[in-house]
Amino acid sequence: MEKKDMEKIVKTFYDKLEEGKIMGRKCTCCNNVEFPPVFICNKCGSFDTEWIELSGKASFKSVMVANGQTAKYPEFLPYALGAVTLEEGSEVNALIGGITKENAEEYRQKLPASCHAKIVQRDGFKTVMFEVD
């Protein structure tokens, strides 16, 4: 694998976000889906991966509420950090919008709870966070 291949994957991912599409890489050998997309399948090591558009459906199994005073992404408050599992099977630690100190306990009682991916604007580029359903 060459550096330019990796750069191409990253560029395509961000270009697709501009079009409103959230993409992952699906392994044609074992069907594992990588998100964020990487060139090599982390499950079986295959180089044979292809683009798929993700449904955006997901669930989360943990929540750690961001502190409003020290939050790293104040523009996205209220949010929590959580372990998110995409419908396609990939697991990521991600921001989950809509969770506050007040309602966090309610969500903890019903984990895993469902959420969905959402494309958000950051300084000069779009990225993906999640939001409770």
At its nearest, how many Å lie between Zn ion and the CB of residue 26? 9
Q: Does 6 bind Zn ion (CB under 5 A)?
A: no
Sequence-distant (6+) residues with CB within 8 A of 17 are 119, 125, 126, 127, 128
Peptide linkage before 74 cis (omega within 30 of 0): no
Kindly indicate which of the ranges 28-36, 70-78, 89-97, 111-119 contains the residues binding Zn ion, using the contact rule CB under 5 A: 28-36
30: contact with Zn ion by CB under 5 A: yes
Q: Is the peptide bond before 37 cis (omega within 30 degrees of 0)?
A: no
Q: How far is the CB of 89 from Zn ion (least distance, A)?
A: 11
Q: Minimum distance from CB of 51 to Zn ion (Å)?
A: 15
Decide the pairing of beta strands 64-65 and 125-132. Answer: unpaired
The region of 42-50, 74-82, 104-112, 123-131 touching Zn ion under the rule CB under 5 A is 42-50
Q: Which stretch binds Zn ion (CB under 5 A): 8-16, 35-43, 63-71, 92-100?
A: 35-43
Smallest gap from Cβ 28 to Zn ion, in A, equals 8
What's the count of helices (H) and strands (E) in the chain, helices before strands? 2, 9
What is the DSSP pairing of strand 23-27 with strand 33-34? antiparallel
Q: What is the CA radius of gyration of the chain?
A: 16
**Residue numbers at the binding site for Zn ion (CB under 5 A):** 27, 29-30, 32, 41, 43-44, 46
